[in-house]
Structure 1
Amino acid sequence: MTILVTGACGYKGSVLVPKLLTQGYHVHAIDTQWFGNFLAPHPNLTVTKLDVRMLNDIDLSAVESIIHLASVANDPCGDLDPKLTWEISALATMQLADRAAREGVKHFIYASSGSVYGVKGEEQVTEDLTLEPLSEYNKTKMVSERVLLSYSDQMVVQIVRPATVCGLSPRMRLDVSVNMLTMQALINKEITVFGGQQTRPNIHIDDITDLYLFLLEHPEVTGVYNAGFENISILDIAEQVCNSIDAKITVTPSNDPRSYRINSDKLLKCGFRPKKSVQHAINEISQAYREGQLVNEDRWHNLKWMQREVLG
């Protein structure tokens, strides 16, 4: 089976693609490669450096499934250039979905975001709650979801709303909560927490990439699914880090009291089971840093890199 993976050189894609190849899939990987390409060569892998907005240049005739990861990732980056964000994260998704349906692609998996709900007061944020996205990034995700669901009668459509991802990737990110706090502790021996009571849902990168494999293998599991298994406050994450790394915590006031949480019972009822936790991510990042395999580079910080290298 040939699978098209967009955003394949990104944080999640760089972990997902090797897993797909190990399972025997042929993978056509598409990415702008703003942050580089860390995919190892493989006889069943074709990597094309291409902006997702130019997907008319891609032959879909042999593609049976699409895993669509490409977007301008995270809220601050999405707000840098709203027009670019809408073109990449919404318009390109709409065009790709239309082409896929017209050309007989059977299966479309879309990476949305768990923050499309906005700020909810409910303790259990389930898939049937209203979507009230706050940022350009999340608004594009909501619109893309609606477009994709309109094609459900023509192909299998599976939409994942992931929590904040944590853990190691060849294309690392050090601007997401668990990874960022762990590196602060390792480098500075101190973690600065702004507020700290804000809750964030989390999912390990191995679990979110395993979920995409699970969905490929279970086309009967259609519709929209939350994917996050640990709703933890920022301060609790910092304390968990400091239980593993000798560092102190400094708490300062925050003007951002927003808390996000999600409930993933619907996904669990389908048979998917996570295998890793925030603690696994902390341990793996710590080990990689101490062994010299992970260093703090600008390219691991999306906003800083985009401001300097992409839009600068």
Structure 2
Amino acid sequence: MIIITGGAGFIGSAMLWELNMQGRDDILIVDTLGSTATGQWRNLSGLKFADFIPRDAFLPLLETGALPEPTAIIHMGAISATTETDADLLIERNFAFSKSVAAYCMQKRVRLIYASSAATYGDGTAGYEDDETKIDTLRPLNMYGYSKQLFDRWAMKNGVLESAAGLKFFNVYGPNEYHKGEMTSVVYKAFLQIREKGSVNLFKSHRPDYLDGQQQRDFVYIRDCTAIMTWLLDHPEVSGLFNAGSGEARTFNDLAGATFAALDMKPDITYIAMPENLQGRYQYHTCASMGKLRRAGYRKPMTTLEEGVREYVRNYLDSGTSYYDLLNHTKRA
């Protein structure tokens, strides 16, 4: 059995889809679904799994031995909003909860794959090398990033990373993100704006070394993230912290252009002022160093921005559904 925490969320449910496509349904999902209005339950509709356990009931069942012992835990459950301001809640959900899951995996020798974040790198002045020994040099720009860094640091100092694999996800986009509100990808937001008014809003630059729309991100397609996690499941001898990105920095202008191209439309971009509360905490450049994962043996090529956006827009967003469905084989890569 495999346990996926955050299994109804963006990356977690995409991983469930990936495992289903491999013929696996011996999977226990842990999450909270919230209100019907958020629609997150749709991420599970049509997918196959053995059982669902509410988040608050999970740790007591796990720690008392009431659950079948899993072969692996894919720990994606966390507060993922970079704008979350409740520091105590972030510590509880992203740090303390993760420590409990990791402690169980160490005790039972269960394979652990968990979600860290590129937000741990802060403004990037310390680089984007996924080197465990440099964790203490990083300065996240928000409390979300700091909560992830705290667990990375704890995992390193307590020997968790000797057998577990942590993934520093960069800017992930793709199906099953529709419920994330303001935290949805720029691809998703751009598509909605184009369909509504035929144009896209991007932030103006507040730095003289970057033109408007030329701010850069490492955009990574969700299918690449699930491929990496699948490979890590198949290679339990590989452990440590790894970046999960495309390995290439692309501009927001590039992303908007790819979205327009997927819809066979000419780009129409409006540059708007960046909110003041973001100006001091905004990353102008991110790019994952993927050398460590490649040296560990991962060989699959990463999806280009144009390829990923085209598949996402044409096969999902513009087809009337934004989530994976096992019954619709036209959406399979």
In structure 2, distance between residues paired with 1:118 and 1:180: 24
Query: Of 181, 190, 203, which aligns to 2:190?
Result: 181
In structure 2, distance between residues paired with 1:275 and 1:153: 28
> What residue identity is the alignment partner of 1:182?
F
| Match of residue 309 from structure 2 | 282
The answer to whether 1:251 aligns with 2:271 is yes
| Match of residue 306 from structure 1 | none
| Match of residue 330 from structure 2 | none
| Match of residue 117 from structure 1 | 121
| Match of residue 103 from structure 2 | 98
Q: CA deviation at 1:172?
A: 5.2
Q: CA deviation at 1:211?
A: 0.9
More strand by percentage: 1
CA RMSD of aligned residues (A): 2.6
| Match of residue 50 from structure 2 | 45
Which shifted more, 112-121 or 5-14?
Answer: 112-121
What is the DSSP-based 3-state SS (H/G/I as helix, E as strand, rest coil) of the residue aligned with 2:217? Answer: strand
What is the DSSP-based 3-state SS (H/G/I as helix, E as strand, rest coil) of the residue aligned with 1:197? Answer: coil
Unaligned residue ranges in structure 2 (runs of 5+): 205-212, 324-333
Q: CA deviation at 1:127?
A: 1.6
Q: Is the 8 A contact 1:166 1:278 kept in 2?
A: no
The answer to whether 1:132 aligns with 2:139 is yes
In structure 1, distance between residues paired with 2:140 and 2:48: 41
Q: CA deviation at 1:225?
A: 0.6
The answer to whether 1:82 aligns with 2:107 is no
Percent of counterpart pairs with the same letter?
24
The answer to whether 1:9 aligns with 2:35 is no
Return closer, same or farther for 1:121/1:133 CA change in 2, 3 Å cut-off: closer
| TM-score after normalising by structure 1 | 0.83
What is the DSSP-based 3-state SS (H/G/I as helix, E as strand, rest coil) of the residue aligned with 2:10? Answer: coil
In structure 2, distance between residues paired with 1:45 and 1:236: 41
Q: CA deviation at 1:141?
A: 0.5
What is the DSSP-based 3-state SS (H/G/I as helix, E as strand, rest coil) of the residue aligned with 1:134? Answer: coil
Q: Is the 8 A contact 1:182 1:282 kept in 2?
A: no
In structure 2, distance between residues paired with 1:154 and 1:221: 10
Q: Is the 8 A contact 1:190 1:250 kept in 2?
A: yes
Where do 1:130-279 residues align within 5 Å? 130-152=137-159, 156-169=163-176, 173=180, 175-195=184-204, 196-229=213-246, 230-245=248-263, 246=265, 247-254=267-274, 256=279, 258-259=283-284, 260-272=286-298, 273-279=300-306
Q: Is the 8 A contact 1:106 1:155 kept in 2?
A: no
What is the DSSP-based 3-state SS (H/G/I as helix, E as strand, rest coil) of the residue aligned with 1:112? Answer: strand
Instruction: Give the number of equivalent residue pairs.
Output: 289
In structure 1, distance between residues paired with 2:230 and 2:118: 19
Deviations 1:182-203 (A, max 9, x none): 3322332111111223211111
| TM-score after normalising by structure 2 | 0.78
In structure 2, distance between residues paired with 1:15 and 1:29: 12
In structure 1, distance between residues paired with 2:269 and 2:178: 28
